[in-house]
Amino acid sequence: MKFDVKRRTDPERAQNRRNQVLQAAAVCFARSGFHGASMSEISKEAGMSAGHIYNYFENKEAIIMAFVDLEVEHVTGQLRELEGKDDPLQSMIDDAPKHVDENLEPEYFQLPLEMFAEAARNPKIAEALRIGDQAAMDRFRPIVKRERERRGLPVDDELLDGRIDTVVSLFHGLPIRSLHRPQVNRNSLVEGYRVALKALLLT
Amino acid sequence: MKFDVKRRTDPERAQNRRNQVLQAAAVCFARSGFHGASMSEISKEAGMSAGHIYNYFENKEAIIMAFVDLEVEHVTGQLRELEGKDDPLQSMIDDAPKHVDENLEPEYFQLPLEMFAEAARNPKIAEALRIGDQAAMDRFRPIVKRERERRGLPVDDELLDGRIDTVVSLFHGLPIRSLHRPQVNRNSLVEGYRVALKALLLT
């Protein structure tokens, strides 16, 4: 049916193609590292010509920037969900098993580790991480402040930021912990996280 | 003085040469990534011929394994120091500023991030991290157990491991936090770390 044939300009098709490239790139970065993976390796993995890939991503850096954007979207989604809870801080503590589990999955952390290693040497990528983090802090801080106020706990800015930065470090460190200790006892770890989160958020 | 002239077989000279290669490799890995840096780039940075480097390291993997060994030695040194303290757990909390500071230095964390990204895809390097971590756990666990017993706190194995894994995650996450937020308020962060460490170790 001729009228159903869609061209490259179709936004949905373009989005699918972009995702196809990102999935292939994730596989190649995991296998060969960001610097070791070539655009031709990625195009082969995606089953597309290299020329075609350049329609969606100017270069490898643009691909890793797209992963940064996805990570920022993921965090924004989690914070939006948190905002909708009746008791957001208690929910974070209750949901520790979910957050621990998602950070213990090797297929989840391989790409972020690659992204962080690259950000440590590429100022453009580091800048994108920072902007995303700033937006997340601006969303998370008022939730923590409001909930602590409601409980009569101290809410000065420095204290709040120190507590939040420590909570975030805790989650950032989990994939690296799991890399060092894949046999980690998940239930004990969840209990440890609950103890730390409770002390940081509710005292 | 002829008798002072030392040959390649001199262990101290070999050690110096090895260190020279490691320093050069750290620069190159930071600049180009583990997979992007070539042995010839490393030899150029070290001011040695590529052939000469192969006397000390068989390949790039052997170099990154040497960094893993250095990291393991560093952690072992810290734990040995801790064992010698009158009140090791309180010392850890008191020394939070030192530990936070050393993990916030970009020149400190670039190489570990590279090492972790590589470990996430290279089973041999992951295995070396695991063996080192196991040795560190075997040294740290009895300290925590003894000190908690002395205070009449619970010491069952699962609880202990969960607390320790959480403490370690906290420190592993710090470099990544700093990457996202280089302007982090160091003093507030130290306070956050103290709150978490105290809850994890002394409750």
pLDDT in tens, chain A (203 residues): 444 544 556 788 888 889 999 999 999 988 888 888 999 999 999 999 988 899 999 999 999 999 999 989 999 999 999 999 999 999 999 999 998 988 887 777 788 888 898 898 889 999 999 999 999 999 999 999 999 999 999 999 999 999 999 999 999 999 999 999 988 899 999 999 999 999 999 99
Per the CB < 8 Å rule, is A121 touching B190? no
CATH of the structural domain B60-202, one choice from 3.40.1350, 1.20.1530, 1.10.357, 1.20.1640: 1.10.357
pLDDT at A2: 47
Please report residues of A whose CB lies closer than 8 A to that of B129: 179-180
Q: Which of B172, B198, B203 sits opposite A173 (nearest CB)?
A: B172
pLDDT at B92: 94
Give yes or no for residue B66 having a pLDDT over 70.
Answer: yes
Is the complex ipTM higher than 0.90? no
What type of residue is A198?
K
Q: Which of A109, A110, A170 sits opposite B170 (nearest CB)?
A: A170
Per the CB < 8 Å rule, is B203 touching A188? no
- Name the band, by pLDDT with cuts 50, 70 and 90, for residue B7: low
Q: Which of B134, B166, B177 sits opposite A189 (nearest CB)?
A: B166
Strands (E), chain B: none
Residues A34/A114, Cβ–Cβ less than 8 Å: yes
pLDDT digits (tens, 9 = 90+) for A149-160: 999 999 999 999
Per the CB < 8 Å rule, is B121 touching A191? no
Per the CB < 8 Å rule, is B185 touching A161? yes
Per the CB < 8 Å rule, is B198 touching A195? no
CATH code 1.10.10.60 for A1-58:
yes
For chain A, what are the domain ranges?
1-58, 60-202
Neighbour-count burial of A139, counting CB atoms closer than 10 A to its CB (0-12 exposed, 13-18 middle, 19+ buried): middle
SS (H, E, C) A105-130: CHHHHHHHHHHHHHHCCCHHHHHHHH
Please report residues of A whose CB lies closer than 8 A to that of B36: 33-36
pLDDT digits (tens, 9 = 90+) for B169-186: 999 999 999 999 988 899
